Amino acid sequence: MRPAEGGAVEGPGSFDELLGLVRAGEVAVLTGAGLSTESGIPDYRGPDGTRRVMPMQYDEFSGSSAARQRYWARSFIGWQRFTRAHPNAGHRAVTALQRSGRLTGIVTQNVDGLHQEAGAHDVLELHGTLDRVVCLTCGDRSSRVALHERMALANPGFADRVLAVAGDASRVTSQIRPDGDIVLDDDLVTTFHLQACLVCGRDTLKPDVVFFGESVPKETVAHAFDTVDRARGLLVLGSSLAVMSGYRFVRRAHRDGKPVAIVTAGPSRGDGEATIRLHGPLGETLTRLAAAVA
Q: Which residues are catalytic?
A: 127
Query: CA–CA separation, 57 vs 146, rounded Å?
Result: 25
Query: CA–CA separation, 230 vs 105, rounded Å?
Result: 9
Label the pairing between strands 103-108 and 123-125. parallel
CA-based angle 176:198:188, to the nearest 5?
35
The closest of 182, 289, 189, 190 to 237, measured between CA atoms, is 289
Q: Are 182 and 74 in contact (CB under 8 A)?
A: yes
In Å, how far are 79, 141, 165, 176 from 159, measured between CA atoms? 11, 26, 10, 15
Amino acid making up residue 67? A
